[in-house]
Structures are given as C-alpha cells and as structure tokens.
Amino acid sequence: MKRKISFLLNGSPVAMEVDPSRRAVDVLREDLGLTGTKEGCGSGECGACSILVDDVVKLSCIMTAAQLEGRKIVTIEGVGQDGELHPVQRSFVERGAIQCGFCTPGMVIAAVGFLKENPDPTREEIRAGMSGNICRCTGYEKIIDAVEDAAAKIRGGGSGG
Amino acid sequence: MVDVRVPSSLDEVFRLLREEPSARLFAGGTDVMVRSFPDTLRRGPFLCLERVEELRGVNESATEVRIGAATRLSELIASPLVADRFPLLREAARHIGAPAVRNMGTLGGNVCTASPAGDTLPPLYILDADVELRSLTGQRRMPISAFITGPGLTQLEEGEVLCAVVIGKAQGFNFHHFEKVGQRKAMAISIASLAFAARTGGDGTVVKARCAFGSVAPTVFTSRVLDDTFSGKTLDRDVLERAAAIIREGVDPISDIRASMEYRRQVAANLIMRLEGAGKDR
Ligand SMILES: Cc1cc2nc3c(=O)[nH]c(=O)nc-3n(C[C@H](O)[C@H](O)[C@H](O)COP(=O)(O)OP(=O)(O)OC[C@H]3O[C@@H](n4cnc5c(N)ncnc54)[C@H](O)[C@@H]3O)c2cc1C
Ligand code: FES
Ligand code: FES
C-alpha cells in the first residue's frame, strides 16, 4: 500500500505516492533523482545523507518517507539560490575543503544548519558542530577553515570573503 | 510494504493502537531505524511519535518539571528550565551522538531503549525521575529505576506509550559532574560514564551525594553504601580511594567490542578520582 505525501522540496511543492516505510534517502535519490545526497553508512554515523528538515539538520538514511509529509526539505541541490553557490559552498571551493567530494554535500548541509544556530562560532564550536560528518580524505582542517570563512561571509552580508 | 503513521495527537495515537495493538512505536528513529532497517521494517506497522503535541516540550508545575517523551535531545539541551534545574541531565544529553542525532533522538527514546550506555539514564536515576505511561486502559507512573529492568528491557507493555519523564524540582544539589569515556569525542557510545551530584557546604564538606554509572552493569549502577561514603567528608584523596574500592567491587561490566570487563571496572573507579578537591565554593 502506497500513501500520498506532500512536502516542499528545495522550494517547490512535491506530491507523490510512496511506500511510507521507504527511507527518505532512497526517495530523494532514486524516486526524485536528487543524487547529491549521499549514503555512506546507512546507520546515522557518517552524516553523508544530511538534509535540512524545517531548517534543522537530520539524517535521511534513518528517516522514513512518511516523516517527510508537510515538511520543508532542503537538499544540497537547493542550498544555492538563483544559480549562485551558497556562501558555504563557495568557501568549501575556495579553501580547498574538497578532495573526493563524497562527504561534501553532507558537510555543506551540516555547516548551513550549524551556522543558522551559531553565526559566529569559535573553531572549537565548529569542530563540535561538524562532528557528525566523517571525511576520509581531507583531515578536516580545511573543512573547519571553510566553515569559519563561510561564517564571516554570511555575517558580512553574503558577498564578502 | 509496511505502513508508517505519523499522528499529531495522543487521541490519534490511541485510535491507531486500537486498530493495530502490535504497532511499533518510534520517535526519532535513531535507535530503531538503525538497528532494524531494513529487517524489522517487515514487522510493522510503525507509529511515529515525533509530532504528537502532548508528548513534546518541557513544562513545570509548582513542584515538578515534566519533559515530554518526544522532546528532542537538542530541545532538552536548549531548555532554560532544564539548564536551570537539572544541569546534570543537560550535560549528559550534550554528550550524545552528534548534532543531527540530537536533532532527531528523543529523551523518551533514550529511556525506552534502556541501553546500559544510555547517557541520560545516570542523571535520571540521580534525580529520582519518574516515568509516566499511558495505554488504552489507563495510566501509571513509576520510578525510572523500576521501569528499567535490564539491558534493553523495560516494563513497557504492548500498546503502552511513555508520555513523559517527570522530575521533582527540589533536588538540593549545588555541585554536579558528568564524565563519559568513549573511544572518541563525537558519536562514541560510552565505555563507562559517571554522573555525580552533591550538596556541599562552602568548605566543600558533602552533605549528601549521589553517584550513578553508565555502561558498567546491566543497568545503571548506583549504591547507597557508595553515596554514604561521601557524607560529612570533603572530596579528598582518602575518601575517593575508599569510593573507588566500592566501585571496583560493585560494578558488573561486560566485555565487548569497545572495551574489556577489566578495563571498564578500572575506568569506572578512576572516574571518581577526578572529583578530588571538587565541590568547594569557587
Ligand atoms: C550515530 C549515533 C550515535 C549515538 N550516540 C549515542 C550516545 O552517545 N549516547 C546514547 O545514549 N545514545 C546514543 N545513540 C542512540 C540514540 O540516539 C538515543 O538512544 C536516542 O535518545 C533515541 O531516541 P529516539 O527518539 O531516536 O529513539 P527511537 O529509535 O525512536 O526509539 C527507541 C526505542 O524507544 C521506543 N520508544 C521511543 N519513544 C517512545 C515512547 N514515547 N513510548 C514508548 N516507546 C518509545 C521505541 O519503540 C524503541 O524501542 C546514538 C545513535 C546514533 C545513530
Ligand atoms: S548515510 Fe546516513 S549517516 Fe551515514
Ligand atoms: S573529501 Fe573525500 S570523504 Fe571528504
């Protein structure tokens, strides 16, 4: 039995028939073709599948399709606006915080959510804020640099840096 | 295919439970969806409590604070009432998982999972928290120490919902300490943890103290004899060494992938030594 769910996805309304127990990550990647969201561990440990649910960072690998109902969902495909990268994305590029890129969508989502809560963080706070996202390539320092840089960009009105 | 319902009121929860008494409850899913996906999904249907209004938020009466079972850990941490009244509980919740896990996981989920490593449990034992349960046939309330009966085991019956954790306001502690030892800082399930609260005089003399350990016994380890060793004493080396001996004797840890039994026993005893000199007015 499928159920109808409706939600807002990257600013556009979506209505679909879906198995309510299907994982949100599978709905996004397979049913809706948004493959920017990654699946690493499938068990809440790595953060690769992070999405924003009503502006809060959640893990789409341990969330069911039914829980998408009525929510405002933002995936990596929706963080930039009007063809412009989000300041967090720009900082990741400029600071060399990306190597293979597998963790990057989850890292960017986690950083966007974290900076909403804490727009002026210390490096230690950034480390804690990003602690649920694992990267096998970068050694994290450049990711911390990028988030620090993005915080300054956002505080400065979005175009600085 | 398995159904998942996401009701928004307790009435709706019980209406669904009347239709499907064997429905599996979950809130944040950070335990259930990890352990079970995709296996136990075949044993649905599922009832998700994350939006049930009556189960959410922190409220106070004249004498008690009521924390809705579906209150997310991040909301618990952000609650001024919790920060003010139960800093020990807040501190323990801050040690759970990472931000996204705390944005999903709930207090009720941590309690019902009843893991020996559940980080909110030691503070809840120290604070003498009660759990409030409701089913189609009635309501009951009991101390958390009675509710949790073993590793992963509780008194929760089929069709019963944990509605809230209720904690008395008059705790009378002026000093608290929480420490968790894991394999790394974030996301680490504890190898051993200590929650400690005390009422002390200005010179650091303990009037009363309560200790609770996680991950070193089938359920939270507490001991009246241990608590009493601190009474009338300051937290000096002698007293703490006596306490450490009681801890080594009393705990009943297991060996698993994270640590051996002997290591856990030693860490538990060492954790108490960190309190040396604590409890004095700053
Ligand atoms: C990566 C990761 C790291 C973690 N780290 C920690 C950690 O450091 N410390 C720690 O203690 N835990 C940790 N956890 C475990 C988990 O996040 C917590 O136990 C959390 O509090 C569970 O809450 P939940 O709402 O997600 O539970 P769920 O998974 O929704 O439910 C857990 C259990 O409780 C039952 N249940 C939930 N709510 C109710 C209710 N209101 N009434 C009746 N039954 C109910 C469910 O049926 C289920 O059996 C971690 C989990 C992950 C994925
Ligand atoms: S894939 Fe979801 S946390 Fe790793
Ligand atoms: S850049 Fe490769 S996993 Fe992070």
Do B126 and B212 lie in one domain? The reply is no
Do residues A6 and A14 touch, judged by C-beta distance below 8 A? yes
Ligand 1 center from residue B109 Cα (angstroms): 4
Domain topology for A3-78: Ubiquitin-like (UB roll) (3.10.20)
CATH of the domain at B135: 3.30.465.10
* Length reported for chain B: 282
* Residue B20: alpha-carbon gap to chain centroid: 29
Residue A15, exposed/middle/buried by CB under 10 A (0-12, 13-18, 19+)?
exposed
Domain-located, residue B2: no
Q: What's the pLDDT score for residue B38?
A: 53
Contacts of A3 in chain B (CB under 8 A): 3
What was the pLDDT predicted at A98? 97
Is B165 within 8 Å of B111 (Cβ atoms)? yes
Report whether residue B32 contacts ligand 1, using a CB cutoff of 6 Å: yes
Residue spans of beta strands (DSSP E) within chain B: 4-5, 24-26, 46-48, 58-60, 64-68, 130-135, 138-143, 148-150, 153-154, 161-168, 175-181, 192-200, 206-214
Contact A62 B33 (CB under 8 A): yes
Confirm whether B136 is domain-assigned.
Answer: yes
Per-residue pLDDT at B184:
73
Considering the domain architecture, whether residues B122 and B150 belong to the same structural domain is answered as: yes
- Residues B186, B214: one domain? yes
Structurally, chain B folds into a number of domains equal to: 2
Binding-site residues on chain A for chain B (CB distance < 8 A):
1-3, 19-21, 23, 42-45, 47, 50, 56-59, 62-67, 69, 110, 113-114, 128-129, 131-133
Q: Report yes or no: A113 and A74 within 8 Å, Cβ to Cβ.
A: no
Whether residue B23 lies inside any domain: the answer is no
Answer yes or no: is B66 within a domain: yes
Which ligand 3 atom sits closest to the C-alpha of A137?
A: 2
Average pLDDT taken over every residue of chain A: 95
| CATH number listed for the domain at residues A87-155 | 1.10.150.120
- How many CA atoms does the CB half-sphere of B198 hold within 13 Å? 29
| Pairwise CA distance, residues B211 & B125, whole Å | 9
Chain A CB contacts of B74 under 8 Å are 56
Of B6, B37, B100, the CB nearest to A132: B100
> Ligand 3 center to residue B188 CA distance, Å?
21
Residue B7 within any structural domain of the chain? no
Q: Which letter, b or e, does each residue of B242-277 get, where b requires 16 or more Cβ atoms within 10 Å of its Cβ? A: ebbebbeebbebeeeebbeeeebbbbbbebbeebee
The single-letter DSSP state of residue A29 is I
Give the torsion sign (CA, A35, A39, A42, A44): negative
| Start and end residues for every CATH 3.10.20.30 domain found in chain A | 3-78
- pLDDT given for residue B14 in this prediction: 97
Nearest CA to ligand 1 atom 19: B110
Give the model's pLDDT for residue B280. Answer: 77
Model pLDDT, residue A4: 97
Cβ of B118 less than 6 Å from ligand 1 = yes
pLDDT band, residue A160 (cuts 50/70/90): very low
Q: Which residue has a Cα nearest atom 37 of ligand 1?
A: B109
C-alpha to C-alpha distances, B5 to B69, B155, B211, B273, nearest whole angstrom = 18, 24, 40, 49
Q: Do residues B154 and B68 both lie within one domain?
A: yes
Kindly report whether the peptide bond that precedes residue B38 is cis, defined as omega within 30 degrees of 0: yes
Q: What is the per-residue pLDDT across A36-93, written as a single tens digit (0 to 9) for each?
A: 999 999 999 999 999 999 999 999 999 999 999 999 999 999 999 989 999 999 999 9
Is A3's C-beta closer than 6 angstroms to any atom of ligand 3? no
**B198 and B98 part of one domain:** no
Same domain, residue pair B121 and B210: no
Token pair listed for A4: 């109808």
Same-domain status, B200 and B162: no
**Among A50, A113, A132, whose Cβ lies nearest the Cβ of B187?**
A132
Q: Looking at CA atoms only, how far is residue B48 from chain A in angstroms?
A: 8
Cα B75 versus chain centre, distance: 15
For residue B70, the model assigns a pLDDT of: 98
Distance of CA B104 to the CA centre of its chain: 16
* Domain limit, last residue, from B168, B200, B231: B168
To test the pocket of ligand 2, the residue of A37, A43, A104, A136 to mutate (highest count of ligand atoms within 8 Å of its CB) is A43
Domain termination site, one of B168, B203, B231: B168
What stretch of H or E contains A154?
helix A141-155
Distances from the Cα of A42 to the Cα of A60, B167, B181, angstroms: 9, 36, 25
pLDDT at B44: 74
User: What whole-number distance in Å separates Cα of residue A7 and Cα of residue B217?
Assistant: 45
Backbone Cα Rg of chain A = 16
| Whether residue A161 has pLDDT greater than 70 | no
Q: What is the CATH number of the domain that holds B188?
A: 3.30.390.50
Kindly state whether residues B163 and B183 are assigned to the same domain. Answer: no
Per-residue pLDDT of chain B (282 residues; tens, 9 = 90+): 789 999 999 999 999 999 998 899 999 999 999 865 555 555 679 999 999 999 999 999 999 999 999 999 999 999 999 999 999 999 999 999 999 999 999 999 999 999 999 999 999 999 999 999 999 999 999 999 999 999 999 999 999 999 999 999 999 999 999 999 987 766 678 899 999 999 999 899 999 999 999 999 999 999 999 999 999 999 999 999 999 999 999 999 889 888 899 999 999 999 999 999 888 765
**SS3 call for B54:** helix
> Which atom of ligand 3 lies nearest, measured to the CA of A143?
4
Please say which residue of B168, B187, B213 terminates a domain: B168
Residue B239's domain spans which residues? 175-273
Cα–Cα distance for residue pair B185/B111, rounded to 1 Å:
22
Are B98 and A59 inside 8 Å of each other by CB? no
Identify whether residues B200 and B104 lie together within a single domain: no
Helix B237-250 × helix B261-273 angle, to 10°? 160
What one-letter code names the amino acid at B175?
F
> A70: which DSSP letter?
T
Contact between B1 and A65 using a beta-carbon 8 Å cutoff:
no
Q: Chain A: nearest CA to B199, how far in angstroms?
A: 31
> What residue ranges of chain A are covered by domains with CATH 1.10.150.120?
87-155
Q: Among the atoms of ligand 2, which is closest to the Cα of residue B100?
A: 3
Together in a domain, B183 and B114: no
Percent of chain A with pLDDT over 90: 94
- Distance CA(B72)–CA(B108), nearest Å, equals 9
